[in-house]
Amino acid sequence: MKRALVGVLMLVLLGGCATVRTLDANKPGAPVVYAGTRLDLYVINGGCCPQDHYGAEAPAYPGLDLPGSMLLDTLLLPLSLLTAAGVGFQATGGL
């Protein structure tokens, strides 16, 4: 029962995760390295118009989202550094 509750909570938080939102944004000129964490901090500090700066809407509760975004941004750091350096990925899935 406890695991199911934690799993549901994780899915709900992941749906509003700033990191996931910025990964989908694909806005030219938007930050890539620690983008979700930066988006959360931007909104927490009263920044306006996150859509204009990050290409994504901020989560409803950025303070609650911040630890998860920091963790996910850290796990994705090697890929985001390569992306920021201009290394492109042509990954495809399936057969």
Q: 43-70: per-residue pLDDT in tens?
A: 999 998 888 888 888 888 898 889 888 9
Does 25 have pLDDT greater than 70?
yes
Residue 5 has pLDDT above 70, yes or no: no
What's the pLDDT at 42?
94
Asked whether 27 and 54 are in contact (CB, 8 A), the reply is: yes
Q: What pLDDT does 94 receive?
A: 52
Tell me the backbone φ, ψ of residue 92, rounded to 5 degrees: -135, 155
**Which pTM was predicted?**
0.74
Q: Which residues contact 11 (CB under 8 A, 6 or more apart)?
A: none
pLDDT at residue 18, rounded to an integer: 86
